[in-house]
Amino acid sequence: MKNEHKEHIVTPPVYIAVALALYVLTVVTVWVAGIDLGKVLNTTIALLIASFKASLVALFFMHLKYESKLLWFMILIPLILLVILLALPIIDVINRAGYFGM
Amino acid sequence: MEQVLKSHHEVEEKHAGLEGAKMGMWLFLFTELLLFGGLFAAYAVFHTVYSKDFEIAHHHLDRVIGFINTLVLITSSLTMALAVWSAQTNRRGLLNLFLFLTILLGTTFLVVKLAVEWPVKFAEGLYPGGKEFNHLLQEGHKGQAIFFSLYFMLTGLHGLHVLVGVIVLLGILFLALRNTFSSEYYGPVEVSGLYWHLVDLIWIYLFPLFYLIK
Amino acid sequence: MWISALLPERASDYAVHVDTAFWITFFLSLIFFVIINFAILVFIIKYRRRKGDEEPGAPISHNTPLEIVWTIIPTILIFVIFWFGFKAYAEIKWMREKPKYEIRITARQWGWTAEYSDGKKLITGTIKDDRFITTKDFQPIIFVPAGEPVQLVLTSQDVIHSFYVPEFRVKYDAIPGRYTKIWFQAKKPGEYEVFCTEYCGAWHSRMPAKVLALPPKQFERFLKLPPDKFNNTLANMPIDSIYAVLNLSDEEFEKWSGAQEKLLLAMSPAERGKLISQRLCQSCHSFDGSQGIGPTWKGLFGSERILADGKRVLADENYIRESILQPGEKIVKGFQPVMPSFQGQLSEEQISDIIEFIKSLK
Amino acid sequence: MEAKLQEIEKRKTYLDEKSLKSWLFTLDHKRIGLMYLFTSLVFFLVGGLFAIIFRTELAFPGKQFISPEVHNILFTLHGALLIFLVIIPLIPSALGNFFLPIMVGARDVAFPRINLLSYWLFFTGAVLLLLSLLFGPIDTGWTFYTPYSANKGLNVFIVSLAIFILGMSSILTGMNFIVTVHKLRAPGLTWGKLPLFVWAIYATSLVQLLATPVLGITLLLLGMENLLGIGFFDPAKGGDPVLFQHLFWFYSHPAVYIMILPAFGVISELVSVHSRKPIFGYWFIAASSLAIAFIGFIVWGHHMFVAGMSPIADIIFSFLTYFVAVPTAVKIFNWTATLYKGKISFTTPMLYALGFISLFLIGGLTGLFLANLGTDIHLHDTYFVVGHFHYVMVGAAVFAFFGALFHWLPKMFGRMYNEKWAKIGWFFNFVGFNLAFFPHFILGIQGMPRRYWDYPAEFQGLHFASTVGAYFIALGALISLAVFIHAMFKGERASDNPWGGKSLEWTIPSPPPTENFEKIPVVEEGPYDFVKH
């Protein structure tokens, strides 16, 4: 249960490749922000790109890719809670008759 | 961290070892996620209600500074990852260099934010309680006032976390300079690396949500 | 059934649906409660450890079919309860037809204000003394027709309050900066107490008010009464004299309202001012010089007031008028800025009456 | 026999070290557990005293001897102290700290230094909470609803800072326990052989870890609202008070599961050990703990049915809330089934366990009325709610705590309590509790709102009964604590396994040595296998 499996060492070329990808994606986010695709689509695309960048950081920089399955399962729980914490208040606010100030 | 207690023939871990430390840090990062989650929930609710005001208000923010800050933080994540690599492969010189670079980039991020971006807002009085802020409220642009409150709360809390990260990394650099880390024992470097990457990860979300709203 | 006396009287139309949901939940819960407690009672008597019996109990440790049974049955039962709750909720939340009458109710720290569309206005204050409140202290806040739906639009001047009438099974929060709507239809005439149920500070328990459900004829007369006459007469009278007035025959009613008119005109402005001040102002400003939330009115007129920022001001007509309409402008040193503004609630004539009354308090 | 006693006296135990430094800077989870225990018990008495004062005020309508402002301060402190300083840390941090590592077969928690840091954060938070009285006591209720709590200035900020620090302590304890259970289990101790108390503490730690940060950010925003006027919850500045309620209850509903889940774990232990019979439906009870922990996160809206949420949200939250009733019911059925064909001995812990089951049953079932969309409109914020959460918190969690205290007293201090007096304490607690809180249901149904300093005269009889009940609880609690204190020092010697329990803590001497086990045991049989000797 505490066997010290040889830590998988991620080599610098992988790190540099990931960093370059992140730079490119940042430029893409800024560029996409220039085009107006309607209120809902803008935010979803921005969040999608940001989530993709975030997963790159998590998988490679934080070595999540090489961690045990247990940690993968454990990460799901806070992510689900985060979605609930964001989704339910929005559902409530959207359907209110008069938002805040009628 | 690892006082190994040898009795009879069994090797006992007095503590949970590297595996345990990493799991402990991941659990702590979950709490950070949910801490920022509460603020992102407030952002989401106010963005849904005041989307037009948010769009107007975000023009006050300088997109170029935001972009530069994002690149700075991504590079600092790169140098942090390389620092962990050099600790794992016993390259002590490189470890000290990359740690120093990460701290330098982190401080640059803080300097750009606190010395360049925020004073502009304070000068314009766009902070909660400021002249322009109250003027916005009187004119009924509540959404814009809320935007700036959110901006200062989120970037402020994030900045605080960057500051804590820099202080922790200074501690690690201090230990690294005294050769405490090697390929046998690099736990603290990896764990503080995890924390630093999370701080960068949160900024990756903050940048589009504040600087690029349409 | 006698136990239905447990719930308050069903005075509104949809109260029956709420009670149905209540009783269904009650009986299903009672069944579970009895089963479990009976089982425990039997087991602890039957399987108690006899003296000197050191043997362990039977090695029964699981029975999956039984577990599945007692997972599915509760799941079904609780969704039965949910369904009846939802039905009652639908009755309460969505109005069948738009109610004819709409009353705006504003809650404030420790009182209610009701405004009708035609300008009639009722205000209830706080009961601050030590004795306990009786039904007599529940001043009327709204007049509603018995048998017809009425819509209330709630809001609050300062903190969150909640408008709750137990007999109508209606409750909703009055939130500052926002309007929330509720409706009910009183089944028969009567008086129904209103409580504030969202904690709102020191006198949260002393904001009593009463809903008066009037029979159609009396309600018609109430509607026909012109607003300013109503505000000066019925709005300030105790409940039993309100009923007495509304039950008068038509010509007696005309005579009475004419007399009231003359009575009010005969009254000196100071006496009229006293009538209003007792209702609105006495809960914070004392008339006899004693300490209160606001400065006392005894000897106020013409005195010099030291403000919070040290400035000195003469308490003349303009100072009092401004303190009534924009209380926040000049706060006397040592007092909290908690006075609500009466902008738009008091007519010009009422304000001058109040000033006359203050002048009379040497 | 005499030699044996001598030999026991001679044994090295974790209590031998007497110096103050050895207590204040100990890394031993058992000592940290005891420090949590005694700190919480002090606040338990202080919070109880506040309740007695305003319960006496409420015995008769009208003013008896305290003003409305003092009454509001008392019920706020009663709520804040008992929730944040007593009922959340009591079982998980005090008894959990003491017994989790032993039951898992480890020498200590995963991060002993962080464990000590958690205690000192807890202590600082508690002191800061008391210090806030100097900046003007808070009277906002433990729920801090804005805008009432929004323009209060410094004292609300100090209280939110104090609770933020208490939250940090709660998070670090949760993280510590999770890593301990995952990483430090003795060889052979698979998840299926873990005592159910460990399962319950594991589920509680998950909730503590994931819910407390949201309370942290909510209180931080409340503090900023007071100091800088950021306006998130102030309608005049575009904010929304209902948003505060969303963020607050996102923590506070899971918090009630932090309070009750450890009690479930304790009851599973007590019922099985004191009827000398394996627990019934081990996997179902373990799974239901995790199910409750998760469902607890998606139901918070049932506190806000009349607070201004949209109808769609009301319906969603009511529907989701009903799911939490299923695992709770499964637990109650399994405990009752455990009694079947057992050898039940009526020791005080067993009396508290049986009391727990029937009182928690009432607490749980009355929750069905409050999750119900129709009846909640009538019952919300009335005394019905006060009755519901007191039945669940005092009737269940505090009863489970007392049961656990007497169950593990022989192991913690190696001494036995006085059975007769402990039963007298139980009797007063049980009778007093029902007399104090059952009238609350009737008051609530008749429409008596909560947090009232004064009430109309027709509610007087029930309030008087409730006050008498409150005095009985005070008596019962004082007797029980006196029996505990007396037994700690002067109770006669107890054997290492007085109840014949099978989990790991009964295999080590009591009071246990500092390193718990000479040799980390290899575990073959389960925690409840009474049959195989």
Residue ranges per structural domain of chain C: 2-45+60-93, 101-263, 270-360
Q: Tell me: pLDDT of D408 over 70.
A: yes
CA of D276 vs chain B CAs: smallest distance (Å)? 34
Encode pLDDT of D339-348 as tens digits. Answer: 999 899 999 9
Question: CB-based burial of residue A13 (10 Å sphere; 0-12 exposed, 13-18 middle, 19+ buried)?
Answer: exposed
Q: Tell me: pLDDT of D395 over 50.
A: yes
Residue ranges per structural domain of chain B: 40-211
Residue D432: other Cβ atoms inside 10 A: 20
D401 SS3 class: helix
**Higher local confidence (pLDDT), C354 or A48:** A48
C270-360: in CATH 3.40.50.300: no
CA of A92 vs chain C CAs: smallest distance (Å)? 15
Q: Which of C313-327, D195-209, D465-479 has the lowest mean pLDDT?
A: C313-327
Q: Which residues of C touch D377 (CB under 8 A)?
A: 18, 89, 92, 169-171
Encode pLDDT of D416-456 as tens digits. Answer: 999 999 999 999 999 999 999 999 999 999 999 999 999 98
Q: How far is CA A17 from CA A10, A56, B174, B193, in A?
A: 12, 11, 29, 18
Encode pLDDT of C255-274 as tens digits. Answer: 777 777 777 667 777 777 88
Residue D171: which region, alpha, beta or left (left: phi > 0; alpha: psi -120 to 50)? alpha
Closest residue of chain A to B36, computed from CA coordinates: A82
Return the pLDDT at C2. Answer: 52
CA of A63 vs chain D CAs: smallest distance (Å)? 19
Q: Which of A56-65, B10-19, B49-58, D312-321 has the lowest mean pLDDT?
A: B10-19
Q: Tell me: pLDDT of A2 over 80.
A: no
Q: Tell me: pLDDT of A101 over 60.
A: no
Return the pLDDT at B5. Answer: 40
> Are D419 and D352 within 8 A, CB to CB?
no
Return the pLDDT at B6. Answer: 40
Using the beta-carbon criterion (under 8 Å), do A88 and D313 form an inter-chain contact? yes
How far is the C-alpha of D522 from the C-alpha of B8, rounded, in Å? 15
> Which positions 79-108 of D are in contact with B (Cβ < 8 Å)?
107-108
Please report, rounded to a whole number, the percentage of residues in chain C having pLDDT higher than 70.
Answer: 97
* The CATH number of domain C101-263, selected from 3.40.50.1100, 2.60.40.420, 2.30.29.30, 1.10.1060.10: 2.60.40.420
Q: Which residues have C-beta within 8 Å of that of residue B35, sequence separation ≥ 6?
A: B157, D213, D214, D216, D217
Which CATH number describes the domain made up of C2-45+60-93? 1.10.287.90
Read off the tokens for C213: 């459900």
The number of domains in chain D is 1
CA angle, residues B116, B117, B122, in degrees to nearest 5: 105
Compute chain D's Rg from CA coordinates: 23
Q: Tell me: pLDDT of D5 over 50.
A: yes
Return the pLDDT at B15. Answer: 57
Q: How far is CA B113 from CA A29, B69, B117, in A?
A: 21, 8, 5
Read off the tokens for D266: 């304790």
Return the pLDDT at B164. Answer: 96
**The domain spanning residue D385 has which CATH number?**
1.20.210.10
Residue B85: other Cβ atoms inside 10 A: 22
Encode pLDDT of C224-249 as tens digits. Answer: 888 877 877 777 777 888 888 877 77
Read off the tokens for D361: 């049953």
Please report, rounded to a whole number, the percentage of residues in chain D having pLDDT higher than 90.
Answer: 80
Encode pLDDT of D217-245 as tens digits. Answer: 999 999 999 988 888 998 888 889 999 99
* The CATH number of domain B40-211, selected from 3.40.50.300, 3.20.20.120, 3.40.50.2000, 1.20.120.80: 1.20.120.80
Mean pLDDT (whole number) for D280-291: 94
CA of D291 vs chain B CAs: smallest distance (Å)? 20
Read off the tokens for D507: 């295999």
Residue among C43, C53, C172 minimizing CB distance to D340: C43
> Are D238 and B50 within 8 A, CB to CB?
yes
Backbone angles phi, psi at C107, to 5 degrees: -95, 150
Is the minimum CB–CB distance between D237 and chain B shorter than 8 Å?
yes
The amino acid at residue D318 is S
Using the beta-carbon criterion (under 8 Å), do C81 and D372 form an inter-chain contact? yes
* C-alpha closest to that of C211 among C150, C154, C160: C150
Encode pLDDT of D123-147 as tens digits. Answer: 999 999 999 888 888 999 999 998 8
How far is the C-alpha of D311 from the C-alpha of C93, rounded, in Å? 8
Q: Report yes or no on D515 lying in a domain.
A: no
Return the pLDDT at D430. Answer: 96
> Which positions 266-285 of D are in contact with C (Cβ < 8 Å)?
275-284
Residue among D336, D373, D447 minimizing CB distance to C166: D447
> Are C245 and C253 within 8 A, CB to CB?
yes
Q: How far is CA D45 from CA D36, D48, D52, D264, D342, in A?
A: 14, 5, 10, 24, 36
Mean pLDDT (whole number) for C133-159: 89
* C-alpha closest to that of D207 among D141, D159, D265: D265
CA of D325 vs chain A CAs: smallest distance (Å)? 20
Q: Which domain holds residue D343?
A: 13-507
Residue C144: which region, alpha, beta or left (left: phi > 0; alpha: psi -120 to 50)? beta
What string of pLDDT tens digits covers the 214 residues of chain B? 333 344 332 334 445 678 888 999 999 999 999 999 999 999 999 998 898 889 888 888 888 999 999 999 999 999 999 999 999 998 999 999 999 999 999 999 999 999 988 998 888 888 888 888 888 888 888 889 999 999 999 999 999 999 999 999 999 999 999 988 888 888 999 999 999 999 999 999 999 999 988 7
D13 SS3 class: coil
* C-alpha closest to that of D314 among D324, D325, D323, D301: D301
Question: CB-based burial of residue D480 (10 Å sphere; 0-12 exposed, 13-18 middle, 19+ buried)?
Answer: buried
> Are C239 and C158 within 8 A, CB to CB?
no
Give ipTM to 2 decimals: 0.89
How would residue D101 be classed by pLDDT, with cut points 50, 70 and 90?
A: very high
Chain D interface test: which of C10, C17, C70 (most D C-beta within 10 Å): C70
Return the pLDDT at C4. Answer: 61
> Are D66 and D54 within 8 A, CB to CB?
yes
Q: Report yes or no on D529 lying in a domain.
A: no
Please report, rounded to a whole number, the percentage of residues in chain A having pLDDT higher than 70.
Answer: 88
Q: Which residues of D touch A93 (CB under 8 A)?
A: 240, 310
How far is the C-alpha of A40 from the C-alpha of A29, rounded, in Å? 16
Residue ranges per structural domain of chain A: 12-94
Q: Report yes or no on D128 lying in a domain.
A: yes
